[in-house]
Structure 1
C-alpha cells in the first residue's frame, strides 16, 4: 500500500474543491447544460436498469449533446400540408415506376413475406416508397441522440420518448443494428420502412436468414418486418384497403373512417363505385379527406392497419393509392376541391430550378420544399401578385414558366 504525504493529500483536496467550485459555477452560468447532463444521466441509469450493458450505454451516449429534434415536433407534413399536396408529392410517376422495379427486384423476399404474414407485395412496397423512397432517405440524425433530446427537452410525451430511447439502446445492445447504422428521422424512426425502436423490438424479423434483424442494411428484413407489423395491426389477407366511390347529389348521410357499416348500408344511401357498379360485400367506413366536394372513399379494416403505421389519414391514403398504382390500377379520379393543385417531385424540382434562374438561393433543386424554397416562393408570390403563403403549387410553377 502506497503512503501519500499530507502535502500531496492537501493538494489533492484543494484540487477537488476547485473542481467542485468550477462545476458549481458552470451550473449557475448554464442551468440548461446542467439540466441536460442530469437528464441524460437519468436516461443512462434507466437503460442500465432495463438490462442494457454499460459498454453499450457508454458507446451510445458518451459526449452526447442535444440536437434539433424538438424544433420539428409541430411540423409533420401529414398534419400541416393540404391533402392534395401531400398525395401529389408521394404518388407520382417516378415513385410508381421505381416501385414496380422494386417489386421485381425483391420478388422472392416479398413472396416470402406474403406467405408468412398475408400482406400483398404492392402494399408492402408502397409503405417502403412512402417511408424512405425505397431506401434513399433514411434520415441523418443519430437515433439515440434524437430520442434523448426529445425525452429531456420536448414539451410533451417525455415518457414516450424515454421508452423509445431505452429501446434504441436495447437494439444496439442486441447487435441487430450497428451504431453507425442507427440513423433516422428527428423522431427516432429508422431503416428502410422507418420503425420506431419499440416497434422494432416487438415486430422486426430476420427475413434474409443472416441471424440479424437489420432494417437499416437489409431490404428483405425491412419488407418482412413491415408485413409482420401490418398483420399485427389487423391486416386481413385477400381484402382490399377500400376504393374510391361516388356520392349521390346532395348526399347527407354520415361519414368517418371508423364508422364501419355494411356495404348494403352505403348502397341504400346511393353510394356507388365510380363506374356505377355495386359495392360488393363486407363493411367499410366512408372517408372524405377533403370534405364532400372532393374524392370519397369506402375504407376497410385494412386501411386502418395502414393508418396504425402513422396515425394520419392523408398518410394512409397515399400508401393505399400508391399500392393501387403499383398493381396497374388508376389513382384518384375525382378532382380535389382546389383550383391550384399540388406538384409532383419532378414539378417541384422544375420550380426550384426556375427560382434559381430567377436569382433565388434554394440550394440544390432536389424536389424537397424546405425553408429556403418556401421563403423564395413566398417572395416570388408577392412579386407576382399571388397569395403569399410559400406553397409550391401549380399557379406558382406556371407563373415561373411565364404562362
Structure 2
C-alpha cells in the first residue's frame, strides 16, 4: 500500500545553526546556577541537594547539535519516511489489539478518540521501541545552562526534573530520553510528566517509563486537559480560486485568533463541502508540495495536537497516521 503518498509538505521551519549561537561564558553559567540555587531553595530544596543535583549533570554537545537541527526542520520528503511507514502501522495495529481494553477505557474516561492515543505513542517512540538514549539530566542541564535561545524554558524543566525524581522516586542516573529531555512511551518532558501523568494501572505510581497502561492513560489525559473534542474534525483541505487573500496569514505557532468564518470565502473554500460551525476557532496552515502549495483549515483538535509538538508538520503526520490506524483497526 502507498496510502501515505497523499501526505503533504508543511510550511518551512527555521532553526539556529550551531555557529549562530554564542555560547555563554563561564561567568554567565555560574550566574545562572546561582539563580537556579536560589529558586530551588525557595521551593524547599536544601542547598546541598541542589548543588549535588547540578554537579551530577554534564554538558553534552550532541544535545546542542540535535536541538539546532530538529527533525521538524527537514522538508516533508525527508521527514515523513521516518514516521509514516507500513512497519509503524503494523506495530500500531498490534499495539491497539493488545491493549484494546485499556485504550477503550482511556478513550471513554478522557473523551479522546482512541486512534489519536495510539498514533501519538507510535510517532513518539514506535510503541516503546525508541525512547531515547540521552541522559535526561544531562540534556536538560545542557539546554538550560548552555543554550541561550531556550535556556529559561529548559532550566524550568531541569527544576521540574528535580521535583519529579523526588516525587516519583525515579533513578535519575539511569533516566534516558530524547535530546530535549522527554521520557517514556509518550515522551513527556518533566513538567508534563508532573502535571498530566496518571496512574492508569492503579499500582500506586505514575510510571511512564515501564507501564504501557500509565502511558496510554497519560497521553489521553494530556489531550483531554488541552481541550480535545472527541469525534470532531481535526483539519480540512482547502481550495483556492486564486492567490491567498492579503488579509489572511498562515499559522506560525500563535494562539488561535481566527474563526472559520474569517478564513472561508469565495476565494478560499473547503475542498469537500460539509456543514461546519463557522464561529469556531481555526487556523490557516500552508503546506508546501514540491511543485505547489496546499492550504488546510486547522480546527481546535489540530491545535491541540500542536500542544504536544508545535510543528504543524508533526500535527499533520499524527492526524494522518491516526486515520490510517483507525481504518486498519476497523477493517481488520
TM-score, normalized by length of structure 2? Answer: 0.77
Q: Is the 2:241–2:267 Cα contact (8 Å) retained in structure 1?
A: no
Q: Which residue of 2 aligns with 1:105?
A: 98
> Is 1:126 the equivalent of 2:119?
yes
The correspondence of residues 3-402 of structure 1 with structure 2, limited to 5 A, is 43=36, 46-52=39-45, 57=50, 60-68=53-61, 69-78=63-72, 80-245=73-238, 247-250=239-242, 252-253=244-245, 254=248, 256-257=250-251, 258=256, 260-262=258-260, 266=264, 268-269=266-267, 271-273=269-271, 277-283=272-278, 284-290=282-288, 293-328=292-327
Instruction: Note the alpha carbon deviations across 1:102-131, whole angstroms, 9 max, x for none.
Output: 111111221221122111111011111111
Give 1:55 deviation, angstroms. Answer: 8.5
Give 1:217 deviation, angstroms. Answer: 1.0
Q: Using a 3 Å threshold, how does the CA distance of structure 1 residues 176 and 268 change in structure 2: closer, same or farther?
A: farther
How far, CA to CA, are the matches of 1:209 and 1:199 in structure 2? 19
How far, CA to CA, are the matches of 1:259 and 1:37 in structure 2? 41
Give 1:46 deviation, angstroms. Answer: 3.9
The gaps in structure 2 that reach 5 residues or longer are 1-23
> Greater Rg, structure 1 or structure 2?
1
How far, CA to CA, are the matches of 1:170 and 1:185 in structure 2? 19
Give 1:251 deviation, angstroms. Answer: 5.2
Give 1:169 deviation, angstroms. Answer: 1.1
How far, CA to CA, are the matches of 2:133 and 2:203 in structure 1? 26
Moved more, 254-263 or 62-71: 254-263
The gaps in structure 1 that reach 5 residues or longer are 1-30, 330-403
How far, CA to CA, are the matches of 2:25 and 2:263 in structure 1? 58
TM-score, normalized by length of structure 1? Answer: 0.65
Instruction: Note the aligned Cα RMSD (angstroms).
Output: 3.0
Q: Using a 3 Å threshold, how does the CA distance of structure 1 residues 33 and 296 change in structure 2: closer, same or farther?
A: closer
Give 1:237 deviation, angstroms. Answer: 1.9
Give 1:172 deviation, angstroms. Answer: 0.8
Q: Is the 1:135–1:192 Cα contact (8 Å) retained in structure 2?
A: yes
Q: Secondary structure at the match of 2:157?
A: helix
Q: Secondary structure at the match of 2:231?
A: coil
- Higher RCO (C-alpha 8 Å, min separation 6): 2
